[in-house]
A and B are shown apart, each in its own frame.
Chain A
């Protein structure tokens, strides 16, 4: 579809013999907010880094990642020259990371850091225009006294304020796609609410697509319309947020929702759990990646469950799905 700002087809990422990501399909359209949820080691951050073309050198991606920016400019990320990737990053695709301290340069005033991304991509005519626009952006992300804040160094700002600066940088060039990787995990809950609102408003105002990565189901449900559930380097289920969270089909999704719902308890007053723990990267079983923790697993699950769904936007891969009562 022409409206896709991101199209990932059959993405694999390997390090040596270990396969870290397997056959990931994913699309994000303009104006669409897509969540990517999973526990540690599920491959969600690796997916984000693959899209940005920021994988460490030892990791080899295969498959196709197409980013479509302003004016229909396509970038084929896998195998692209660093020059083309540099032109894409910070303009067509931008990213907000988890840790706002390490995402900013500690030796540079934050106003200059916001201006820099516009100067590099020449989206403003000159230095003065960039500086003025930087102050304007800092104002838009809700920093009090933006002209003063532009002259501050990152260490002079609180965690929430720093994350606002990172959001300002990410939105400076009106990207077609914003990737957020656990953007509020390091923040206090009252600050989180404000930063989430800020990100959603920024994306909506630009009609940009958003890929939002988190382990927090409640956050994804507050922010996104569609969601993909990852486990063991694979997408195991995808669909509209409301459908996936109220009528999960994959056994893992079902277990994850049960385990994270602290208001729901078993008859003995204890929480629902998933047995065992998340294997380390590359140590997931062959066939269904969840079968060694699944209470419904049979010998059938030693074979790879096929994707049951019309496309990457909606479906699941489970041999023994949760049967929805009509």
Chain B
């Protein structure tokens, strides 16, 4: 065994997840969806790790498994050295302290009937902690919200502010790992930059391990050091973000990079026709 300090924060080995669909016929077996096909990854402590892929590639399933919200059909999922893949819910308490989530939709992930102070305190209450208000106020300040926010309800905030509340809640139990699932995809451009800066600042200050899932390679490039590209339930390419972005090796990654419109390239004359042609060219080499 390696010393605990070099142990990766998250280790995935051959993680497979199959979903059985409803039977469509009496004589044929139920069709099986292969959401994950043997994903193997190490995410080091303190790393900012991105997972990129299009809808249906399995990135959300992978995230749910890492967070202990779903169990793999096969494979091993270690978080901070403990295999969580077969643990029952009642033994996952340690995971909730170590790893917290921020979701895409800041409206759907906050209970509209709870005050912000109760939303942020909920993970603490679940761990049996009392007198949570000082911690709540500290967290509100850390995410750039006023103390008055504690006594208001989610609908009284804008999308960007709600995402700050989600981040405060995630940080409440003082986790080591922050998992963010498309945290800025639902936000306006002018607010997106603020939230990305906030995440980066908190990850720095609290020395968090960040797992950042997005469909947008350019967002991941800004936030993450290393990235895994997923397609059809498999990790097709892993590497330093700049390398993946500037010199993609796998045909699918090439397609993803070629298809993404970029302001500078567009202003230099890259039209929609060029985007489409490059995307198809990358596809044909696969």
Contacts and interface: CB of A to CB of B under 8 A. Distances in A.
Interface of A: 39-40, 159, 188-190, 192-194, 196-201, 215-219, 221-223, 241-242, 245-246, 255-263, 265, 269-274, 277-278, 280, 293
A241 B189 CA distance: 18
Contacts of B194: 273-274
Contacts of B267: 221, 241-242, 245-246
B190 A256 contact: yes
A190 B259 contact: yes
Given A197-B272, A277-B158, A215 B188 contact: yes
Q: Which of B189, B260, B273 is the most central at the interface, judged by chain A CB atoms within 10 Å of its CB?
A: B189
B20 interface: no
Interface in B168-227: 188-194, 196-197, 200-201, 215-216, 218-219, 221-222
Overall SS of chain A's interface:
helix
B190 A197 contact: no
B190 A274 contact: yes
A193 B281 CA distance: 12
B266 A259 contact: no
B275 interface: yes
B262 interface: yes
Contacts of A245: 263, 267
B200 A39 contact: no
A251 B174 CA distance: 39
B129 interface: no
Contacts of B54: 188-190
B58 interface: no
B55 interface: yes
Interface string B42-57: 0000000000001100
The 10 A-B pairs of least Cβ separation, nearest first, read: A197-B276, A221-B266, A218-B261, A188-B54, A39-B188, A196-B272, A274-B190, A271-B193, A277-B158, A193-B275
B16 interface: no
Given A190-B259, A270-B197, 13 more contacts: A188-B54, A190-B256, A190-B283, A193-B278, A200-B271, A218-B261, A255-B190, A260-B192, A261-B263, A273-B197, A277-B160, A278-B158, A278-B191
Contacts of A263: 218, 222, 264
Q: Which of B222, B260, B263, B265 is the most central at the interface, judged by chain A CB atoms within 10 Å of its CB?
A: B263
A325 B34 CA distance: 58
Interface in B250-286: 255-256, 258-267, 270-273, 275-280, 283
B201 A222 contact: no
B276 A259 contact: no
B161 interface: yes
Contacts of A219: 261
Contact of B276 (A193, A246, A274): A193
B51 to A, nearest CB: 15
